[in-house]
Amino acid sequence: MSKANTANTARAATAQIIDGRMIAALVKSDVRLLIERFKLETGASPSLAMVLVGDDPASQSYVRMKERDCEQVGIIARDYRLPADTSQEHLNALIDELNADAGVSGILVQMPLPAGLDEEAVVERIDPAKDVDGFHPTNLGRLLRGQPGMRPCTPAGVMVLLDQYGIELEGKHAVVVGRSNIVGKPQAFLLLERNATVTICHSRTRDLPAVCRQADVLVAAVGRPQMIDASYIKPGATVIDVGINRTEDGTLVGDVDFESALSVAGAITPVPGGVGVMTRACLMRNTIDACVAQEAARKSARLMK
Ligand code: NDP
Query: pTM for this structure?
Result: 0.95
Instruction: Please report how the helices 153-164 and 275-304 are oriented relative to each other, as an axis angle in degrees rounded to 10.
Output: 110
Number of helices (H), then strands (E), belonging to the chain: the values are 11, 11
Whether the CB of 179 sits within 6 Å of ligand 1: yes
pLDDT value at position 13? 57
- Active-site option among 110, 187, 226, 294: 110
Give, in order, the Cα–Cα distances in Å from 31 to each of 62, 109, 124, 280: 20, 22, 27, 12
- Give Cβ neighbours of residue 25 (< 8 Å, ≥ 6 apart): none
Q: What is the pLDDT of residue 14?
A: 86
Q: What is the pLDDT of residue 12?
A: 53
Dist. CA 101–CA 97, nearest whole Å = 6
Is position 133 annotated as part of the catalytic site? yes
For every residue of 9-61, DSSP letters joined together read HH--S-PEEP-HHHHHHHHHHHHHHHHHHHHHHHS---EEEEEEES--HHHHH
Q: Is the CB of 200 under 6 A from ligand 1?
A: no
Q: Among this protein's residues, is 130 annotated catalytic?
A: no
- Weakly modelled stretches of the chain, pLDDT under 50: 1-11
pLDDT in tens, 134-171: 999 999 999 999 999 999 999 999 999 999 999 999 99
